[in-house]
Structure 1
Amino acid sequence: MLEKTNRLTLVEQVALQMESLIESGKWAVGMRIPAEPELMAELNVSRNTLREAIRALIHAGLLKTKQGDGTYVCSASALGVVLQKRFLRSDTLQTLEVRHALEREGAHLAAQRRTSDEANELLLQLERWEAAAARGDMDGFVTEDIRLHQSIIAASHNEILIELYNHITEASQDLITSLTRYEAGADFMEMHRQLVEAIVGQESDRAVAAVHRYIAESKAVLDAKGGERP
């Protein structure tokens, strides 16, 4: 029988401190973390303890070591790593269904909670999105599409929903890109304009209906392609 313990080992404490630096953004993705001597002095731990903590974070997918170069941050949070691995084992329809659930609730909450500044920013973001489509800039269109949806979720003011959505967006980047490139038509654009206008007008039901419509459009694209990525 295993016994419960409330005490963290020194290695776990060091790993948690380093993880908090990553999640707070002080150690950004792509950054090389400080060298061992500097970390040992700052954390007041031995080389072995530090290396064990680093190995734990490498195993969790937050850090990676480049031979002869150092250790780098490769993910902003452990949750993002877990979701990335899980999405690799999921089919495109399941991924789309999860996005549907999150974007539907995000739109519903955003329509209720958005601030005046957020309403103005959503309209500006919509204009940038439409401008990219008008000039045929598909890379820009995809980028602005992601930003638009993230802005809508941010206006929900639900921190868990925001974090979860951002991680899922990162994990399903390829699917989002392929679908968005395929869907840049007038009907798809109009559905998003209706979504933004509903949120700005604080019409929750209308916002949710707009989400239903463009997700149905995305599912139709998948069905047309036999469930494969467009």
Structure 2
Amino acid sequence: MSAPLVKRSLVDQALERLRERIAQGAWQVGERLPTEPELGAELGISRNTVREAMRVLAFSGVIEIRQGDGSYLRANSDPLATVQVLSRCTLEQCREVRRMIESEAIRLAAQRRTEADLQSLEEALQQSGQHYHDDLESYIACDLVFHQRLVDAAHNPALSGLYQYFSSQVGQALRTTLSQTPRRQSVFDLHRLILDAVRDGDVERARNLSLTLIDEP
């Protein structure tokens, strides 16, 4: 039996151990998990704490709780845990991830964008431009829409889904940067140049402009 959990929130610690067990392959996807009393005995915690931890895993889609039947594993990774990791990354770490995800997505967008994508991007850029020199939160909200639509124009659901998880950290990075440095028109104009490159199908230019924008202070 594992040592009893102490100090930190028992639910948080139970979640951590359950996630570890799942990541280590203790159960296969589709397999029925041990009962709450069995998990409680293994973790050294109460049944109520186990129940709360299982509810969190069910909410994030990791397990499925079937009334009268038990809990079944649906996925071997927890997206909420991923979001927690992302929320702790530094400004430079955020830039590194954006270079990998966003620049590649924009490169693909230049190859795959449709007329509907271009129209949607144009509308988002116009909305963003109206707020660039106004309220910071309004601008960030509009800017995130534009960038998400750029990624969506790659027509890769995995990239789109990944960027949705990451966009909150992008927003926080923008909030930090733009609250410390003046907003320059030349930086916003890079968005227009990126959209023009995507419209023209200029793959390398779109990617390079994306990297330039990401690296702007």
1:92/1:127 CA distance change after superposition, 3 Å: same
Distance 1:6 1:60 in 2: 14
Distance 1:147 1:115 in 2: 17
Equivalent positions of 1:34-183 (< 5 A) are 55-59=53-57, 62=60, 79-134=78-133, 136-181=134-179, 182=181
Q: Is there any run of 5+ residues in structure 1 with no aligned partner, and where?
A: 13-50, 64-77, 222-230
CA deviation after TM superposition for structure 1 residue 57, in Å? 3.5
CA deviation vs aligned residue, 1:107-159 (integer Å, no higher than 9, x gap): 1011111110111111111111111125x232221111100000000111111
CA deviation vs aligned residue, 1:151-172 (integer Å, no higher than 9, x gap): 0001111111111111011245
CA deviation vs aligned residue, 1:70-121 (integer Å, no higher than 9, x gap): xxxxxxxx75412222124432211211012111011101111111011111
Distance 2:183 2:162 in 1: 26
CA deviation vs aligned residue, 1:46-69 (integer Å, no higher than 9, x gap): xxxxx9776424157739xxxxxx
Confirm or deny: 8 A CA contact 1:87 1:172 kept in the other structure.
Answer: no
* 165-174 or 110-119, larger mean C-alpha shift: 165-174
1:226 is matched with: none
Distance 1:212 1:5 in 2: 40
Distance 1:132 1:161 in 2: 27
Distance 2:149 2:209 in 1: 16
Distance 1:194 1:3 in 2: 50
Residue identity in the other structure for 2:161 = E
TM-score (norm 2): 0.65
2:198 is matched with: 199
Q: Is there any run of 5+ residues in structure 2 with no aligned partner, and where?
A: 1-24, 36-48, 62-76
CA RMSD of aligned residues (A): 3.1
TM-score (norm 1): 0.62
Moved over 3 A (4+): 2-7, 51-55, 59-63, 180-183
Instruction: Give aligned pairs, total.
Output: 165
Distance 2:126 2:26 in 1: 59
